[in-house]
Amino acid sequence: MEKILITGGAGFIGRFVADELIARGNQVRVLDSLIEQVHGDTDRPAGLHPDVELVRADVRHGDAVAKALKGIDSVIHLAAEVGVGQSMYAVERYTSVNDVGTAVLMEKLIENPVRRVVTASSMSIYGEGLYVDADGNTVENAERQPRTGADDGWDPLDSQGRPLTPLATPEWKRPNLASIYALNKYVQERTTLILANPYGMEGVCLRLFNVYGQGQALSNPYTGVLAIFASRLLNGQVPMIFEDGEQRRDFVYVGDVARAFADALVLPQAAGEVFNIGSGNDRSVTEVARELARAMGRNHGEPEIVGKSRIGDIRHCFCDTTKAAETLGFRAEQDFGEGLAELAEWVAEQTADDRVAEARAELEARGLVA
């Protein structure tokens, strides 16, 4: 049995990770600042396991972090500001919490080393996912050209103007950082791996794809897309989808993600490695919006297709799960339909402020929607 610190552990993913670790016989301490945008006005979020020791503090505050590390054997680092769109204008805030917060944590770990640190990274670091061109060549650095008219397509093209075909993205694909959030997550990842080993610790990073499940922050318009859709549907609105809705993503259930963190914390072969954590299945965003509406029984009409893109968004990125399966023995187990049904049942008991239009207006006012 170990005593484990989860930074950001009162959040959506952190609560499931804490449950999984406690179920495996560990003690859990959580350090979380409980920001209003995510948690609302609360001193202890609903759903946080009663056996969790909660320390309310900012990960950038060195003294609080040092105190939280006392008696700790391992760390799972989840603390982060989350959201591609908001990161493109709240630059100082995101960089401070994500990058400086990780630096503070690692400095305090240098003074109080632990056995292992597992840090949450993100699929966003890839930018566009892996593609193949018409000649069968893989393309790691696909980029979309600015659209000049309504008839222009949304997908990346090769140098001859031919469409590229998206492939599942493996860990060896080089990063292509398209947003401040992506840059932040890559810095968190590399900081962990650069500093852990020289100070006698083991570092592991998990690149999470689109995590969904009950307990998401429904009133946060910059959170996961399924939570945003659920908030709209709960308030009698249709989901709002940027571009044409055919962008493809990988949705992975939060309980599967929690299991991946717990395994990455203990398996010897995980040390020093980076792993994709996803379901291995890709779906269009429009398809997902329709399925959620059916699961919630809220068929208000077809999703609103905005026909515009947000700066920092990418077209296609979904998960190659080979490395996690072969090295960690990890495979997502939750059926997507069953996971949506569970999410819908939970959402039906919630209230949420629909702030999606407000967030879109904020981005448009700053020239971040085109």
Which of the residues are catalytic? 181
Q: Do the beta carbons of residue 185 and residue 80 sit within 8 Å?
A: yes
Of 185, 54, 76, the C-alpha closest to 127 is: 185
Q: Do the bridges between strand 27-32 and strand 3-7 make them parallel or antiparallel, or are there none, so unpaired?
A: parallel
Question: In sequence order, what E strands does the chain have?
Answer: 3-7, 27-32, 53-56, 74-77, 116-122, 131-132, 138-139, 165-166, 202-208, 210-212, 240-241, 248-253, 274-277, 282-284, 304-305
At residue 221, φ and ψ (nearest 5 deg) are: -75, 0
- DSSP letter assigned to residue 266: T
Of 70, 67, 64, the C-alpha closest to 27 is: 70
Q: Do the beta carbons of residue 340 and residue 295 sit within 8 Å?
A: yes
Q: Do the beta carbons of residue 292 and residue 344 sit within 8 Å?
A: yes
Q: What string of DSSP letters covers 98-148?
A: IIIHHHHHHHHHHHS--SEEEEEEEGGGGSS--EE-TTS-EESS--PPPP-
Tell me if residue 345 falls in helix, strand or coil.
helix
Q: How large is the greatest C-alpha to C-alpha distance in the chain, in angstroms?
A: 61
Q: Looking at this protein, which amino acid is placed at residue 241?
A: I
**How many other C-beta atoms are found inside a 10 Å radius of the C-beta of residue 42?**
11
Q: Do the bridges between strand 131-132 and strand 138-139 make them parallel or antiparallel, or are there none, so unpaired?
A: antiparallel
